[in-house]
Structure 1
Amino acid sequence: MPPFVSESAIPRQRPVTRDDETLVRAIYPVLMDVVRRKSSITYTNLVLAVRERCPEPEHPIYRQKPRHLGRRLETLRLFTAPRGYPDMTCVVVTGGTGLPPEAYDDPASEAAKVAAFEWPAVEEELALQCDDWRREAASIVPLEEAGAVAVMAKFCRDNPGVYEPGISAFRKEIIAELMAGANVVDIFAVLNRELRAAG
């Protein structure tokens, strides 16, 4: 693992949903524009920029809230981290601090490595990875709303007091992710990290 990235910045393997894969394809070119400018972008502006590129109302970016982009950025890191590529998601920052929420030892050093990396050389590789994710996502059986509610309720009963209290405010988002085929443990883990980072 590169010394300039903490272990928490490298995601564990998890199932990738169709929404994850679709959003990675849409987010990547926006991040590339930011990288070329050697700049940064807030979560809110990232969502708005992707919406400009993807006007189709059924695109998952229109169901995406800025503060819940963590899961989608983790999906992009599922591509970069195992290959030892720089973490391009470090250019996504919170509006309040101007820093990425992930625990980088040296965010400026990571951003410099991202800017120096030859991203066009790996774009075909990313496209192939997205194709693989799409095929894998096709095998995920989505839940109906009632089933998603039941899974969420059982998980909360089985894990009292484990997660940040504010997580209950995201009931609709959790249900939507479950209906899309996401794993309940992953959903709660990502939301919990985001709440702690915002905390």
Structure 2
Amino acid sequence: MSESAIPRQRPVTRDDETLVRAIYPVLMDVVRRKSSITYTNLVLAVRERCPEPEHPIYRQKPRHLGRRLETLRLFTAPRGYPDMTCVVVTGGTGLPPEAYDDPASEAAKVAAFEWPAVEEELALQCDDWRREAASIVPLEEAGAVAVMAKFCRDNPGVYEPGISAFRKEIIAELMAGANVVDIFAVLNRELRAAG
């Protein structure tokens, strides 16, 4: 990923905001240890910190964590902070799925950065996202199914064939207020990376 790459601005849902708040301290621990963490272990570590069963981490599949990490990059990239999500790696390769110009250099910047110093700034950004998310009107299940079906009819053959296996997750994201284009784009990118 080029160092200046800023994720495409999209509406941040309540689940995005809640999960970023929960993921950040786990990633700070990983960075402090100068280590990396797989998607699966990240989900498990956040679950350990958030034992309440209604927390969105319990609906989160590790392979769909990309949207949440993109939300964290919506905080770091515009401020010129290093991409702390580069410490999240796939289990198979041990590398981040994003293509960094120089992964070792990005990891070194992340390790040298004072993450605790921006914790309050992230909390304020999350508060802003939460206020914005309150204006998003979530869909009922029937509405979410209809939006997904129309999108698939209008965009045949554009997405990876395996995307249909994520029907439940797509519907859940739509019900939470996520944008259908964003949902499919993130899943498609993750399926290509898993390739």
Per the shorter chain, which TM-score range?
Answer: over 0.9
Whole-angstrom CA distance in 2 between matches of 1:145 and 1:115: 43
1:121 deviates by 1.5
User: In 2, are the aligned partners of 1:9 and 1:104 still within 8 Å (CA)?
Assistant: no
Q: Could you tell which deviates more after superposition, 103-112 or 128-137?
A: 103-112
1:8 deviates by 9.2
Which residue of 2 is the match for residue 49 of structure 1? 45
Instruction: After superposition, give the CA deviation of every residue in 1:4-36 in whole Å (9 maximum; x if it has no partner).
Output: x42795311000000000000000000000000
1:186 deviates by 0.3
State the superposition RMSD in angstroms: 1.1
1:63 deviates by 0.2
User: In 1, are the aligned partners of 2:3 and 2:101 still within 8 Å (CA)?
Assistant: no
Which residue of 2 is the match for residue 74 of structure 1? 70
Seen in structure 2, the aligned counterparts of structure 1 residues 94 and 184 have a Cα distance that, compared at 3 Å, is same
1:103 deviates by 1.1
Instruction: After superposition, give the CA deviation of every residue in 1:129-168 in whole Å (9 maximum; x if it has no partner).
Output: 0000000000000000000000000000000111111101
Whole-angstrom CA distance in 1 between matches of 2:56 and 2:43: 11
User: In 2, are the aligned partners of 1:40 and 1:91 still within 8 Å (CA)?
Assistant: yes
Instruction: After superposition, give the CA deviation of every residue in 1:96-141 in whole Å (9 maximum; x if it has no partner).
Output: 0000001101111101000000112111110000000000000000
Q: Secondary structure of the residue that 1:11 maps to in structure 2?
A: coil
Whole-angstrom CA distance in 1 between matches of 2:194 and 2:2: 18
Whole-angstrom CA distance in 2 between matches of 1:8 and 1:46: 25
TM-score, scaled relative to structure 2:
0.98
Unpaired runs of at least 5, structure 2 = none
**Number of aligned positions between the proteins:** 195
Whole-angstrom CA distance in 1 between matches of 2:24 and 2:77: 15
User: In 1, are the aligned partners of 2:64 and 2:187 still within 8 Å (CA)?
Assistant: yes
TM-score, scaled relative to structure 1:
0.96
Q: Secondary structure of the residue that 2:4 maps to in structure 1?
A: helix
1:50 deviates by 0.2
1:52 deviates by 0.2
Seen in structure 2, the aligned counterparts of structure 1 residues 198 and 8 have a Cα distance that, compared at 3 Å, is farther
Whole-angstrom CA distance in 1 between matches of 2:83 and 2:34: 14
Q: Secondary structure of the residue that 1:8 maps to in structure 2?
A: coil
Whole-angstrom CA distance in 2 between matches of 1:120 and 1:78: 18
User: In 2, are the aligned partners of 1:8 and 1:102 still within 8 Å (CA)?
Assistant: no
Which residue of 2 is the match for residue 148 of structure 1? 144
User: In 1, are the aligned partners of 2:4 and 2:77 still within 8 Å (CA)?
Assistant: no
1:20 alignment partner, one of 13, 16, 22: 16
